[in-house]
Chain A
Amino acid sequence: MVLRMMISSQDIRETLGGIESLSGQVDRLSDDDDLFDKGLCSFGSVQLMLALEERFNIEFPDHLLNRTSFATIRAIRSTVTTIVEPVDA
């Protein structure tokens, strides 16, 4: 069986909403805004990774743990998608 989980940018936005360094800004972000330019700090980016791992029940491998994987909502969506989809059960 192949499980497909569609990750929407709304899913990512909900997770971003909980990150303090971006608080209050998430609604105003476009999918391509650079989150680091919007105030995401290195502490915040780790908190974001943890929140995504928890929400989607995934673990990011080391090679995806870099700035470009988490720079924009679109990039995060694609990073998360490469891990959760497809999952062979």
Chain B
Amino acid sequence: MNALAQMSALAERIAADPAPGETIPPEPILAESRLPAPTFAERMRRVAQVAALHADAVDRDGRFPAEAVAALRAERLLGIQIPEALGGEGADMSRMAEVCFSLGQACAATGMVFAMHQIKVASLVTHGAESPWHRALMQRVAERQLLVASATTEGGIGGDLRNSLCAVEAEGDVFAFRKDATVISYGAHADVILATGRRHPEAASSDQVLVALTSDQFTLERTSRWDTLGMRGTCSDGFVLAARDVPVAQILPKPFAEIAAQSMLAASHLLWSSVWFGIASHALDRARTFVQAEARRRPGTVPPGALRLAEATSSLQAMKGTIQGGLRHYEEAQGSPAALGSIGFAIALNNVKTTASTMAVSIVQVALGIVGIAGYKNGTPFSLGRALRDVLSAPLMISNDRIHSNTANLLLVQKGGGTFLGA
């Protein structure tokens, strides 16, 4: 038996004990998380199990994780964020982050689908509460477990969230809408799409609104295929998204600038980061199992990979602290538009995204270095190819350079004097 085969055999024996992230309920991201219900953990675990089972096929075939999304529906996790009064569970951001983390370990594409759906729902919950149409939509999301997608990215604009070319063209009580949406994750599987556009055809490019379109109203004409390095299961094809005769009541009443600042950017950075944290944790779990197997094979020595493992574990802990801090900051600012709209908050949340995405990539790379060929190969208990390819999307998903330049601009006016233990 060569070394690799021996290692695999050992790992399989170790894996007969609970495998990392599979049968042990994942450690909560927030130590003091209000994660009460074992039932919630159980629901989350069941979905993660389904997601893990199909993750390789979803990745290989670049197909929608239909089984895992069906499991999310069966466990009624798509509606958890909706207020109880509208049929949901009123789950907070930390709880959703837990699900993202758990799914991120099992199948990052499923984790990202869940994250993106909940980011859209966050905008509905935060900014749609006073609009009867959007309240009814929330009720339907909870009741029928509808899947909500996002169309912000646009041909000619790219990832610049706060500018649009397309516009709402209202006539009387209805409007028409057409967008060259170059990336809509799971667009072909979405029940609802929230899209940005200019308020009217003469509006400035930054004078945007967010419109909710339902699948019986919109048409999607595919313009590009999502054949990518990683995150293949998000099926983020390009489409021309078009709809006509849509009631103007479906336009969210708040300016998109406020929606972006107060719910969408924060929710995106926190939930995406939680998925990436899941990927990094999963990779490091594999590296640890590998190092432990090596240690058992050569008693009395500390395997060389253990040093790198120690280093990466410290990075993982720092990454976790960064995301937890962001979650706490977000939850403390809830209900205060001034706090949510402040420059300090924007900078802090931008930093969560850039830090978490950068660290996640480096942690997975270190994990691969520890595991070596067994990680580079597909189909071993230590394979890290999918994790590496998936995590490489993190710095690109709203380019870190774009975010840094936004932060650089904000830093021109921010004043110091923050506290250590406060936000």
8 new A-B pairs (CB below 8 Å) besides A42-B162, A66-B338? A36-B207, A39-B207, A42-B410, A46-B410, A62-B344, A63-B342, A65-B342, A67-B257
Confirm or deny: A14 has a beta carbon within 8 angstroms of a beta carbon on chain B. no
Instruction: Encode contact with B along A17-54: 1 for CB under 8 Å, 0 otherwise.
Output: 00001000000000000101111111100100110010
Binds A, one of B41-49, B244-252, B412-420: B412-420
Residue from B206, B342, B343 in contact with A36 in the complex, judged by beta carbons closer than 8 Å = B206
Contact call A59/B162, Cβ cutoff below 8 A: no
Instruction: Give B206-239 interface residues, CB cut-off 8 Å to A.
Output: 206-207
- 16 A–B contacts, CB within 8 A, in A order: A21-B204, A37-B199, A37-B207, A39-B206, A39-B207, A41-B162, A42-B162, A42-B410, A46-B409, A59-B415, A60-B413, A65-B415, A66-B343, A67-B257, A67-B261, A68-B338
Which residue in A36, A42, A46, A63 is a CB contact (below 8 Å) of B255?
Answer: A36
Among A42, A59, A62, the residue within 8 A (CB) of B342 is: A62
Q: CA–CA, A53 to B412, complex, Å?
A: 11
Closest to A36 in B: B257
- State the CA gap A43–B204 with chains docked (Å): 15
A53 touching B413, Cβ below 8 Å: yes
A40 proximity list for chain B (CB < 8 A): 206
- Name the CB-closest residue of B to A41: B206
Interface pair A67/B258, CB less than 8 Å apart: yes
**How distant is the Cα of A8 from the Cα of B337 in the complex, in angstroms?**
28
Partner of B406, one of A42, A59, A61, A66: A42
Give the docked Cα–Cα distance between A19 and B342 (Å).
21
- Indicate whether B341 reaches chain A with its CB closer than 8 angstroms: yes
Range class of the B interface residue count: 20 to 34
Chain B 351-399 interface residues, beta-carbon cutoff 8 Å to A: none
Expressed in whole angstroms, the Cα–Cα distance for A39 and B198 within the complex equals 11
What is the CB-to-nearest-CB distance from B295 to chain A, in angstroms, rounded to a whole number? 50
In angstroms, Cα B337 to Cα A37, docked, is 18
Q: Produce 1/0 per residue, B115-143, CB < 8 A to A.
A: 00000000000000000000000000000
**List of B residues within 8 angstroms of A68 by Cβ:** 337-338, 341
- In the complex, what's the smallest C-beta–C-beta distance from B55 to chain A, in angstroms? 38
Chain A residue numbers with a CB within 8 Å of B206 are: 21, 36, 39-41
Q: Does B313 contact A (CB under 8 A)?
A: no
- Within 8 Å by CB of B341, from A41, A43, A46, A67, lies A67
Q: Range of interface residues on chain A? A: 20 to 34
Of A34, A50, A67, the residue contacting B413 (CB under 8 A) is A50
Alpha-carbon distance between A65 and B415 when the two chains are bound, in angstroms: 9
The interface residues of chain B lying within 8 Å CB-to-CB of A67 are 257-258, 261, 341
Q: Contact at B204–A38, with CB atoms within 8 Å?
A: yes
Q: Of residues A21, A67, A68, which shows the largest number of chain B Cβ atoms within 10 Å of its Cβ?
A: A67
Residues B150-203 near A (CB distance < 8 A): 162-163, 199, 203
Question: Taking CB as reference atom, which chain A residue is nearest B346?
Answer: A42
User: Distance (Å) between the CB of B358 and the closest chain A CB?
Assistant: 23
Contact residues in A for B337 (Cβ distance below 8 Å): 68
Shortest B209–chain A CB gap in Å is 10
Chain B nearest CB, measured from A76 CB (Å): 14
Which of B199, B257, B338 counts the most chain A CB atoms within 10 A? B257
Nearest CB of B to A53, in Å: 7
A42: chain B residues at CB < 8 Å are 162, 406, 409-410
Shortest distance between the CB of A32 and any CB in chain B (Å): 15
Q: Which residue of A lies closest to B261 (CB)?
A: A67
* A38–B417 alpha-carbon span in the complex (Å): 33
Cα A41 to Cα B406 with chains together (Å): 11
In the complex, what's the smallest C-beta–C-beta distance from B403 to chain A, in angstroms? 12
> Which A residues are CB-close (under 8 A) to B163?
41
The 8 closest A-B pairs by CB, nearest first: A39-B204, A65-B343, A66-B341, A49-B413, A41-B206, A67-B341, A66-B342, A37-B207
